[in-house]
Amino acid sequence: MNYCNQIIFFLAVGLLASCDLIQMKEEGKSVDVDKKAIARVGDQYLYQDDLEGIGYEGIDKEDSAQRARSFINSWVRKQLLIKEAATKIEFDEAEIERKILDYKFSLMGYEYQLHYITQNLDKNVSEEEIQTYYEENIDNFVLKQNIIRSKFIQVPKEAPRLNRLRSLLYSTKESDREELNSYCLSFATTYELNDSIWMTFDEVVRNSPLAEIPNKLQFLRNRKYSETEDEEFKYYLKIEEYRISDNVSPLEFVREDIVNIIINKRKVELAKGLEEKIYDEAKKNNGFEVYN
């Protein structure tokens, strides 16, 4: 369940529980014999019908059952809390009802905005847009970690032809690249051969002796190639390029972040534009009045 769906789920439970707080004031409330009750707290009942909409089309039975159990457990806990609260505090029922309406209308508005954005969002981001955003906001793209473009291989010590790996790593021949890829597929435990991709140094060398290097900056400045080993494995690292922390990140390293930022800005603009459009149309058609 993503973050937005979690908000809707818990607000729905909260709305149901808030309504029951008011209903608890009623006396003589009894179970509806025409409905199937699935939980009870005091005189309050949760019915099978109340679970409609908890699942969705395509969800498997186990996930659906888990969502139902979560909803029921949440309902019971909230009812117990509200039951306790109703005996300890005097509530302003009018204020509670107003808040319930606020939640309801907020959810309705959110759902419509989400639908509108889904229907109208352009997810295509051009290279020009990415480059322009990068240049205009370059101070926001300062590296927090050392990054490298490299080839890295972890291979068991008993693997064959280990003395061949260094020459394959340095070779620019297509046949040697294919041989290296085939070798890694057959024998390597971990490997990264795409040296056009920027990755953090720590991510590349994690779980290897290279992760314990005391002065990583000095290592990066002085070592383009490294072979090391432990009791079980040999490790090969060939660095094509590096950038150290506190320097400006290369565009390729933050490209995906920039794309997401641009798309999220479009979502915000669509939401604001929808509100303005509805407001302007209503104003033009005398759809609302504000009294002094």
Q: Which residues pair with 241 in a beta bridge?
A: 149
Q: 3-class SS at 272?
A: helix
Same domain, 48 and 168: no
Least confident of 91-100, 225-234, 271-280: 91-100
150, 125: one domain: no
Angle (nearest 5°) at CA 29 between 28 and 33: 125
Q: Does residue 18 carry a pLDDT above 60?
A: no
| Count of positions (residues) in the chain | 292
Q: What 8-state DSSP symbol labels residue 34?
A: T
Phi-psi region of 53 (alpha: psi -120 to 50; beta: other; left: phi over 0): left
Looking at 33-42, 101-110, 185-194, 210-219, which range is the least confident one? 33-42
Query: Are both 230 and 255 inside the same structural domain?
Result: no
Q: Do 111 and 133 have their domain in common?
A: no
- pLDDT category at 261 given cuts 50, 70, 90 is very high
Beta carbons of 84 and 72 less than 8 angstroms apart: no
| Average pLDDT of the chain to the nearest whole number | 87
Number of structural domains (the chain) is 3
Asked if the model's pLDDT at residue 102 lies above 60, the reply is: yes
26 and 89, same domain (yes or no): yes
Q: Both 230 and 271 in a single domain? A: no
pLDDT(16) > 70: no
Asked if 235 and 256 sit in the same domain, the reply is: no
**Contact between residue 201 and residue 145 where contact means Cβ atoms under 8 Å apart:** yes
Q: Are residues 235 and 115 in the same domain?
A: no
Residues 132 and 93 reside in one and the same domain: no
Q: Is the model's pLDDT at 57 over the cut of 70?
A: no
Q: Residue 3: pLDDT band by 50, 70, 90 thresholds? A: very low
Q: Which of 227, 243, 259 is the last residue of a domain?
A: 243
Q: Which tops the pLDDT comparison, 103 or 53?
A: 103
- For 163-172, how does the pLDDT look when each residue is reduced to its tens digit (9 = 90+)? 899 999 999 9
Token output for 268: 């915000």
CB-CB contact of 182 with 174 (8 Å)? no
For the cut 70, the answer to whether the pLDDT of residue 77 exceeds it is yes
pLDDT of res. 191: 95
Q: What's the pLDDT at 27?
A: 42
- Statement to judge: residues 30 and 94 lie in one domain: yes
Same domain, 125 and 260: yes
Higher pLDDT, 241 or 3: 241
**What residues contact 255, with CB distance under 8 A and at least 6 apart?**
130
The CA angle 90-94-100, to the nearest 5 degrees, is 105
Reference 205, options 226, 222, 187; nearest CA is 226
Question: Can you tell me the distance from the alpha carbon of 68 to that of 155, in angstroms, rounded to the nearest whole number?
Answer: 47
Averaged pLDDT for residues 137-148:
95
- Cα–Cα dist 39/266, whole Å: 44
Same domain, 239 and 270: no
CA angle 230, 236, 238 (to 5 degrees): 150
- The residue type of 188 is A
Higher pLDDT, 221 or 90: 221
CATH code where residue 188 lies: 3.10.50
Domain that holds residue 287: 121-140+251-292
DSSP label of 145: S
**Do residues 190 and 154 touch, judged by C-beta distance below 8 A?**
yes
Q: Residue 206 pLDDT more than 60?
A: yes
